[in-house]
Amino acid sequence: MWRNPYESMGSFSCLGPAPSNIAGLIGAALGLPSPRSLAAGEQDAKKLKLQMQKALPWPVSPELLKWEADNDYNVACRWRGGFPRRIPWNVNGIKEMGKGDNLRLQQQVIEKPSYEVLVRLERKEAERTASALKNPAFPLFLGASFCRAIVRNVSVLENIPEGGDWAMHKQYVFGEATPFTRHVINAEETFERVVSDGYWVYPEPSCPGEILEDPFVKGYCVFEAKSS
């Protein structure tokens, strides 16, 4: 369930994850918790309150943001699930806190998703990350807690695997696409968690992609706050 924040009618899953989603999976594998998660332990209450006041209710792990910057996090991903199919996964949600009214959430999730992900790292860090993905510190999920992730194969490679259909970063698209969201690594200064810049388009059998010489995209960004 890769939720599209631009989808107004329920939750219609994008075909694949954005760079920020993949970074979150890596952070969970490495054991880098969000400051507001149970795994984070005691945190600076004044700092968390300030983040809430500045519209940063669920900050990204500072350790993960540092990892992305230190390793110049670059990522590529492609869909490996054949012809995509979505199935309904509708649940009851709370319409308003303190009241007993329920709201039926209309959800469409990807059935039998499968992806191939590349992360460009120096060998030592690649081996450490590969080891963590084989034995993740925290459970891994595909966008939602009811979509458990299973990492089947992890390898450290010298070259990009052959073949095309890697997700492509585009500014304007028609049809299905994933919002190209990346973590803001200077979130403590700007109080911006993620930035969306165009779309990440996943080719699939009915709509093949291009052969890209270098499919990697920069998976993080520095946000420049505008003065008022």
pLDDT (tens digit, 9 = 90+) per residue, 12-55?
Answer: 899 999 999 999 999 999 999 887 666 666 766 776 676 666 66
- CA dist 107 → 9, 35, 102, 132, 219 (Å): 9, 29, 15, 31, 27
User: Is residue 228 scored above 50 in pLDDT?
Assistant: no
E runs forming strands in the chain: 11-12, 74-79, 86-88, 91-94, 102-105, 107-110, 115-120, 168-170, 178-184, 194-201, 217-218, 220-221
Range 11-221 has CATH code 3.40.630: no
85 Cβ neighbours under 8 A, 6+ residues apart: 110, 111, 112
User: What is the DSSP secondary structure assignment for residue 128, as one 8-state letter?
Assistant: H
> Burial letters for 109-120: b for 16+ Cβ neighbours within 10 Å, e otherwise?
bbeebebebbbb
- Rounded Cα distance between 37 and 33, Å, is 6
The residue with greater pLDDT, 111 or 42, is: 111
User: What is the DSSP secondary structure assignment for residue 40, as one 8-state letter?
Assistant: G
- CA dist 92 → 102, 106, 110 (Å): 6, 9, 19
Q: Which residue has the tokens 């709509």?
A: 207
- The pLDDT of 102-126, averaged and rounded, is 89
116 forms beta bridges with 78
- CA angle, residues 186, 4, 132, in degrees to nearest 5: 60
Domain ranges for the chain: 11-221
- The pLDDT of 90-103, averaged and rounded, is 60
pTM of the predicted model as reported, rounded to 2 decimal places: 0.86
